[in-house]
Structures are given as structure tokens and as C-alpha cells.
Amino acid sequence: MRKPQDISENELQDIWIKQSFTSSLQTQSGDIISVLNVGELNSDSSGPDFKNARIRIGYLVYVGDIEIDSEYSNWKSHGHNIDSKYNKVILHISLINKNNHHYIYTKDGRKVPHVTLSKFVKKEFFEKVNAEVQKGRGNNSRILRCSSASDTMETSKKGEYIAKLGVERFSKKCNRIYERLKELAYLSELNIKEPTVKYSLQPEFQKREFNSEDFKMKTLWQQLLYEQLFEALGYTQNKEIMLKLSRAVNIDFVQNHIANHKESGGIDSIFFNVAGLVPQVKSLPKEEVSEYTLRLATEWEQIGKIYDGERFDETDWHFFRIRPQNFPTIRIAGGIKYLDMIINHNLIGTIIKKIEEIRKISILINSIRSLLIVRSSGFWRNHYIFDQKSKTEIKYFIGASRADEIFVNVILPFFTVYFDAFGKTELSKKVLRIYNEYEQKGDNKITREVAESLHVAPLLKNTIYVQGMIELYRSYCSKSKCLECEIGKVVFN
């Protein structure tokens, strides 16, 4: 028999759509619920599961959103209680409710009734998987079309092709970083604001030829690395907004602030206020506001007068289906530490020196990677969100696994571009050698399933193959370009 925790949220959504209940729904408090309209399934990656639902509880009809979680505790652990996207929720549903809670609370403090679904579904539901869900939207498998015939091609040939794609993926990252470097150099030369390059300056920018003299300013490289690190810390769901934050709070503003306000600090205040994540302390009771939060708000009263860049809102950030360790608050805290390393501890120069002086690749890798692991400190050691203490201490802002990914996806291509820009060919080749020899510390669902489909699981140990599998899936498999893929050409012909 399947256990409740094995039931996916897709299956729970399917039950809600079909209204497959053994009796009339009741809230945990015992009120009868009549479902007038189940709502529209939310296809976005954030926000409640169903929008614009209509239900009757007692004599009142409610119109709003429905959120369905596997466990009651997910409401808080997924950050819904601090996400304004969930302020319109009129009913919270979970399969498991260990402590028999009757309500959840939205960010704006509204009390919302809860339904424990396990009381209203058939026992058979736990004994077999709903075939329709598995075949439809519940099936997230990435098993490739060529899986059953992939052995038609020799394993060594598949490995060669995947390695080639790994190099192509690396080159794409380098090209993207170089294009941004040119933008930064051009903007700096003309002393203009960020957005302009995308519009009125585009023709002039495209005609411009760059050389090493254009890239000598230290702050160009600092801003470039700062942006790349922040974007990487955002993962898939928050990478865009993290990148925007690093461009809004540019390195010149931060350095000027440090130089002119040494006594007050305020770096945290800048980032969390520009991000729009600091609570409105004036509207909250004093006992609910920590000293840290109050300090950020107070400091911003002065800093905000001189800051003229873009500002964001809490709704711009994704908390939905993100582990607390990866909440934007924690990643921003880690990003601030990286920025401090760039500005105050010469992170770029330190890494350059290591690449120049350390000959043994394994020692060089460990030496650089250790720089990227950031231990927690201060307020965010005990908080995932503002003014709600976490149950356990947060040991790292950036742990070994994330540092590993940043090393591969940011550090290596960044320094390849750096050395190429200044004609240091041997050092550029050395970085590529690191990429070729690097042993991957972790994998992901895409690479595991591609490796399984192509029967090349041993290749998962090396980064160049892991990156090649990602490139294979994203550029060919997911776009059904089988006959443009070297493996597909062999297998299907």
C-alpha cells in the first residue's frame, strides 16, 4: 500500500479537479464545503495551485484561490505564509495534517480554513497510481526517445559526442560573459545608465571593436563577476531577479557608500530594501520587529535618499516550492558575502594568483572551491525570513554543492574570458584543462535520466560529460531535434 507521503501534488490536484471524494468535504473545524467551481489550474511555477475557484462554506460563498500541499506544514516550509501571491487563498488542502491544525494564515494575516484530504478519499487511492495522471501532466520523466535503441551507437562514440557538447556549452557561457563585458565597458566609457544599451545605443555598440585596453578597469571585472555570482545564486526561479538586483545595486554605488558611510555600514539595508523584502516596520507592533529589521529600515531612511536605481517588490521573488535553504533571503545574504570578498578581499586577484602558481590541478580545484563556500553569520544564521526564527541553525549561506556548481558555471568561464581578453593563452588553456578534468560532486534529474537513457552512467563523474548531457537534452532532446543530434542520426537511421 502506498503511503500518504508518496502521493504527488499532481495526483492531489487531479483529485480536486475530478472531485473524487467519498463524502462531502468538511473543514477541519467541521463546516460543510460545497464546491461550486474548482478553479483554473495554475500553470505558472509560482502561486496557488488553482485560481478563481468558488466554494460555499456554511451560508457564505467565497471566490479566490486554492492551495494544495502534501503536508499541512508545507504552507510555512514553502514560504506561502510570507508570499503575497497567496493572499487570495480561500481554502488550504493537504493530505497530511499531523497536528490537526484548523487554519493557515496568509501574509496579510487572514485566517483561512483547512481541509485534511485523507479523510475524504478512497483507500484504493493509496494502493495504485492513477494511470491517467502518470500518462499525462504527472509524468515528468525525461527518458529519451532513443533509449531503447541507443546501444546501436558505440559507447565510446556517444562519449565523444557528449564531451563535444560539453565544450560547446562551456563556449556558450564564455561568449555570454564576454558580451556582457563589452556592454559594461561601453556603458562605462559613455557614463550612462544601464538600460540605454539595449535600445538607443545598440547600433553603435554592435559596430564597436574592443581590445584589451578597453577592459583594464578593475571595476568592470568586479561588476561582471558580481553579476554572474548573484545570477547563479538565484537558481532557476530567482536567477533573473537576482541578476537585476546586482545591476540595480551596482558596484560603484556600493563602493561609494562604503567610502562615505564607514561608521554605519548599511550594505544589508541596501540589498534587502532594494529587493523589497524588508517588512514595513512602522505598521507592525514593536514586539514583532527584531533589532536587525529595525536597523535595516532605519538605515534605509537615509540611504534611500541617495539611491536612484530600480527597486523591486516582494512579489517579484519566488518562494514557492523552494527549500528554505534556497530562499532569496539566504541567497542574498550569501551574495553580500561574495561581494565583500570581491571588493575588500580581492577575490579576482586571489583566484588569478592561484591559477598562475598552483601546478597540480586537483590542489588548484580544491583551493579555489574552498573560497566559494560561505559559512552563515549574524541574523541569517537563525532566520530564513524576517522576524521568524528558524527551528535549526543555518550552517552555510553557500554550501559545498552550490559552490561546486558556481565553480563550474561561473568561475571557470569567467577566468577563461579574463585570460583570453589579455592574451594569456596558456592560462586560458589551463582553465579549460580544469574543466576537462573536473570531477562532478553532484548531479541532477536531467543528467541522471539522460545517462540512464543512453546507458552511459559512468560518465556522470566528469563535469564535461555532465555539461554535455545538459546541452544534449536542452538543445536537442527537449526540442525533438533527434535527426540533428549525432546519436539520433545513428539510432534512427
Please list, residue by residue across 64-95, b when 16 or more beta carbons sit within 10 angstroms of its beta carbon and e when fewer do.
bbbbbbbebebbbebbbbbbebbbbbbbbbbb
For 184-208, how does the pLDDT look when each residue is reduced to its tens digit (9 = 90+)?
998 888 776 554 444 455 667 777 8
3-class DSSP state of 289: coil
For the entire predicted model, the pTM comes to 0.72
Residues 450, 465: Cα–Cα separation, whole Å: 11
> 321 — alpha (psi -120 to 50), left (phi > 0) or beta?
left
Q: Which residue has the cell 536567477?
A: 239
Residues 224, 191: Cα–Cα separation, whole Å: 17
Q: How high is the pLDDT of residue 274?
A: 97
Which runs of consecutive H residues, i.e. helices, occur in 313-382? 328-344, 347-357, 361-372
**Domains of the chain: which residue ranges?**
4-135, 152-479
Q: How high is the pLDDT of residue 320?
A: 73
Q: Within the chain, which residues score under 50 in pLDDT?
A: 1-2, 128-142, 195-199, 263-264
Give Cβ neighbours of residue 296 (< 8 Å, ≥ 6 apart): 268, 269, 272, 273, 278
Q: How high is the pLDDT of residue 8?
A: 66
Beta-bridged to residue 62, according to DSSP, are 55
Q: How high is the pLDDT of residue 138?
A: 41
**Nearest one of 228, 232, 273 to 249, comparing CA atoms:** 273
Q: How high is the pLDDT of residue 200?
A: 52
- 475-to-416, 470, 482 alpha-carbon distances in Å: 23, 8, 10
